[in-house]
Amino acid sequence: MAGITDLPFRSLVARFGAGLVVSEMVASQELLARRPGTREKAELGLGVEGAAVQLAGREAAPMAEAARMIAGQGARIIDINMGCPAKKVTNGASGSALMKTPDHALRLIEAVVNAVDVPVTLKTRLGWDEEMLNAPMIARRAEAAGIRMITIHGRTRCQFYKGRANWRAIARVKSAVKIPVIANGDITSAGAARTALEQSGADGVMIGRGAQGRPWLLAKVAHALFGRPAPHVPQGNAFAEMVLAHYDDMLRFYGDALGARVARKHLGWYMDTCATPPDLRRAVLTAPSPQEARRLIPEAMLSVKQEAAA
């Protein structure tokens, strides 16, 4: 979800009532190379309750140093990324590539856990490929090293996002550890979440792509499965006002020029939940200025499809 779960989007999702939100993946060495300051704190949402900062890296020492830095700045939870399948990440021996070198991965995990007092969690996949389904073994060793929770995406790295997530395979991880296990992958509704929990035996679910254009989805699933308060899903003018507020938050966060570009993907996802005419959709996504986009957004967002809000 890099480039998607920035602070404006996480803040919006959290306002609907999500139990936990996680920052974009942050490379430890890149983080250390930048001067710590207000911008970094704003990007990561340090100090925000119910929020985790996700770190990625390939070497133990920089990961530990980065963890100490962000914990010192107020991070409440640190999540280690061992699940990203992107080639630019795995080619650098980070993300899910660490599943190919479990001993090295555990040295990295131990370094981060020993560096901070805040809880450290782990996000990973079932394995590198079908010949290396080693998530249960890694989970056992990670638990022994002090990991407090583990999230499993129900695919291998080599599957990327193809096919369907195998929630039943997550059950092998659940049976291997005593810490909470969270199921991830293809969870796009309360029904899917319920099935994922039944098949995996997991303690909860993590939602990623399913929340695109539907920032209330996490809260709706929590209500349906765990009895949490039901979110008010905006309709009509309220939906258009929510989209405008999100758009303005992105402009303030990134600046007008960059913010307008970053916002386009979110506007597209919002319009996926609407009956926006093709010509109007095109006009919104190619608006020459933020002012023109703001003028068009209310009309483009008024016809919300009932199934998207359900």
| Active-site residue set | 84
Asked if residues 19 and 218 have their Cβ atoms less than 8 Å apart, the reply is: yes
Asked if residues 184 and 151 have their Cβ atoms less than 8 Å apart, the reply is: yes
Strand partners, 184: 153, 206
Asked if residues 21 and 14 have their Cβ atoms less than 8 Å apart, the reply is: yes
Q: Report how far residue 91's alpha carbon sits from residue 80's, in angstroms, rounded to the nearest whole number.
A: 17
Helical axes 135-145 vs 102-115, angle rounded to 10°: 30
Write the CA distances from 105 to 27, 111, 231, integer angstroms.
15, 10, 39
Three-class secondary structure assignment of 244-275 = HHHHHHHHHHHCHHHHHHHHHHHHHHHHHCEC
Strand partners, 79: 54, 121
Which tokens sit at 95?
A: 């993300």
